[in-house]
């Protein structure tokens, strides 16, 4: 699919599924070591500083989808790349490379078979470009062509893929500096993707190293944040396009929004009154 030519109409259903996903002290690298200079902590700038009407409802997200697909001619691969790159940049802001030891640069990226997993694959590739040391756990590989292409890119860049995720959590805590959760996106229930992903989420809940969730913490309801108490408790949340309503229940240290690609007039139309982007940054701290 040529980005210059715009999305092929035959691919519109896949692109619509993607855009629906845009709805609305630790060992080694501890939570205390999350960068306080690179971003604004939620401890000092609360979620309440973002007007509630700036968070799109499900209906508003669907309308925003139509704007991007039909008026602006965004393509599915283009959006995945934009979101994955911005997610990697958010990781670099929360965990600046110069401040990390060799071991702390190791990142485990856990990917699911849906669109959030594709974003995770792109995130891992850019982390390698940024000189981090990513490893990918991708237990249910999608047959979707985009997923296969992104997997090939990671393999060609010598990013290792784990054949299994250790159930002994301490092995993960000792091997990696942080974990990226790209398992489930909005509207995807753990039961929909099968046992390997469900087991992976059960393991991620027990980690003591920092956890970064892409778009929403996997398993949370995008609207209500149900399962927030018993589900994943990430240290960093990277909202894609705009925060989802469940982000109001996020209590971690850093919340980024990766939505600079959303055109200014679309932001105004949907009242996305979020912090401005600095310089050439593709993410902003909330």
Phi, psi for 218 (deg, rounded to 5):
-55, 130
Widest pairwise Cα distance in the chain: 50
CB 281 within 8 A of CB 39: no
| Spatial CA neighbour of 86 closest among 236, 247, 269, 250 | 236
Task: With a cut of 50, say whether residue 1 has pLDDT above it.
Answer: no
Looking at residue 57, its pLDDT comes to 66
Q: Any idea of the CA torsion for 36, 37, 41, 45, to the nearest 10 degrees?
A: 150
Domain ranges for the chain, please list them.
77-238+245-252
- State the average pLDDT over residues 124-129: 98
Task: With a cut of 50, say whether residue 25 has pLDDT above it.
Answer: no
- State the average pLDDT over residues 51-72: 71
Looking at residue 102, its pLDDT comes to 86
**What is the fold, at CATH topology level, of the domain defined by 77-238+245-252?**
Rossmann fold (3.40.50)
| Spatial CA neighbour of 144 closest among 183, 117, 122 | 117
Task: With a cut of 90, say whether residue 146 has pLDDT above it.
Answer: yes
Looking at residue 41, its pLDDT comes to 36
CB 154 within 8 A of CB 125: yes
Q: What is the pTM of this model?
A: 0.82
Task: With a cut of 80, say whether residue 149 has pLDDT above it.
Answer: yes
Task: With a cut of 90, say whether residue 134 has pLDDT above it.
Answer: yes
**230-278 pLDDT, tens digit each:** 789 999 999 998 888 888 889 999 999 999 999 989 888 888 877 789 9
Pair type for strands 254-258 and 284-285: antiparallel
**153-173 pLDDT, tens digit each:** 999 999 999 999 998 999 999
Task: With a cut of 50, say whether residue 16 has pLDDT above it.
Answer: no
Contacts of 98 (CB under 8 A, 6+ apart): none
- pLDDT over 70, % of the chain: 76
What ranges make up the beta strands (E) of 90-204?
Answer: 106-111, 133-137, 161-162, 178-182
**100-122 pLDDT, tens digit each:** 988 889 999 999 999 899 999 99
């Amino acid at each position: 699919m040529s980005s210059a030519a715009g999305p092929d109409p035959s691919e519109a259903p896949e692109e619509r599924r993607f855009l629906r996903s845009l709805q609305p002290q630790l060992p080694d690298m501890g939570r205390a070591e999350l960068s306080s200079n690179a971003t604004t902590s939620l401890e000092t700038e609360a979620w309440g500083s973002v007007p509630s009407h700036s968070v799109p409802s499900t209906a508003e997200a669907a309308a925003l989808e139509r704007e991007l697909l039909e008026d602006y001619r965004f393509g599915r691969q283009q959006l995945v790349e934009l979101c994955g790159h911005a997610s990697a940049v958010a990781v670099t802001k929360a965990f600046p490379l110069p401040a990390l030891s060799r071991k702390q640069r190791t990142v485990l990226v856990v990917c699911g078979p849906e669109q959030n997993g594709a974003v995770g694959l792109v995130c891992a590739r850019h982390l390698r470009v940024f000189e981090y040391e990513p490893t990918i756990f991708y237990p249910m590989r999608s047959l979707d062509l985009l997923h296969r292409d992104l997997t090939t890119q990671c393999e060609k860049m010598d990013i290792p893929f784990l054949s299994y995720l250790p159930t002994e959590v301490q092995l993960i805590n000792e091997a990696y500096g942080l974990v990226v959760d790209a398992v489930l996106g909005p509207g995807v229930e753990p039961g929909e993707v099968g046992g390997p992903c469900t087991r992976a989420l059960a393991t991620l809940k027990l980690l003591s190293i920092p956890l970064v969730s892409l778009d929403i913490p996997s398993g949370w309801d995008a609207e209500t944040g149900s399962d927030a108490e018993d589900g994943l408790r990430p240290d960093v949340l990277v909202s894609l396009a705009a925060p989802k309503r469940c982000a109001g229940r996020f209590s971690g240290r850093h919340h980024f929004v990766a939505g600079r690609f959303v055109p200014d007039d679309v932001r105004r139309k949907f009242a996305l009154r979020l912090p401005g982007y600095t310089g050439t940054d593709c993410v902003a701290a909330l």
